[in-house]
Amino acid sequence: MAQRPGFSHKPERRGVIGPFSAGQLALAVAAVVAVIVIGAAITTPLGRTGVGPGPVSPRATAFLISSPPPQGLQPGSTAPELAVALADGSTYQLQDLSGKPIRLDELRGKVVWVNFFATWCPPCQQETPILRSLAERYRDRGLEVVGISVQETSPGDIAAYAARFQLPYTIGFDGSGHILREYRVFALPTQFFIDTNGVIVQAINGPVDEPGARALIESLLPPPSPPASSPSSASPNPAPSPTASPSP
């Protein structure tokens, strides 16, 4: 008679929760934590370097266009000129939308706000009304706003954007990206606040908050001149006192 195979019975494996094992649950928890951390990193403003009032907008984040460099431009250093020497011996000079060169050395004595932006960049679009408002408000006190458009196809697109939003400040077209790389920009928008001596005071990788930007600009500009008194408000000259008659 043939020998029967041995009988074996393994109990059914049960998971910690339903059909899921402890290892599977651990992997799921780790995945959820990773998603939370990445989400926080994406939705948190990149911040600023420098001292003084904090103009970073807490409600917006920058649009990353490359990996951050090992070290960006630091406060206390002289802002690079808006011109780059090329390998062929020529010099690339940033120009405004009418073809006029934009030179920082010609802006000495003014506070300069350099703003790297792109018209297709949502946080840049959100920030545009702030630049327009503060450029108009502080122009007469010595603020010069210089917008530098990057990663665009033509100056005409930038000119249409400036006309649509009635931007009153200088805008340069950096189609080659030479100035973008010279300033080590990796996010849009990126701001550099430069004092009257051409020294970087703050570098901000992200959109600004209007109250904070206004406070920073106020700290860099000279105080406003007191209003001149009108002639009508001046006190009239006192009448001369009568001269005493000589005694007889």
The percentage of the chain sitting over the pLDDT mark of 70, rounded to a whole number, equals 67
Q: What is the pLDDT of residues 29-58, one digit of tens each?
A: 565 545 443 343 333 333 444 444 456 555
Tell me what pLDDT residue 30 has.
Answer: 61
Strand partners for 183: none
15-24, 69-78, 151-160: which range is least confident on average?
Answer: 15-24
205 by Cβ neighbours in 10 Å (0-12 / 13-18 / 19+) ranks as: buried
| Most confident among 23-37, 56-70, 95-109 (mean pLDDT) | 95-109
- What is the helix (H) or strand (E) element at residue 42, kind and residue range? helix 22-43
Q: Is the pTM of this model over 0.95?
A: no
Rounded mean pLDDT of 94-104? 96
Rounded Cα distance between 170 and 114, Å, is 10
How confident is residue 28, by pLDDT bands cut at 50, 70 and 90? low
Rounded mean pLDDT of 88-98? 95
Rounded mean pLDDT of 8-13? 52
Rounded Cα distance between 12 and 29, Å, is 25
Query: Span 40-220: which CATH code?
Result: 3.40.30.10
**Domain layout of the chain by residue ranges:** 40-220
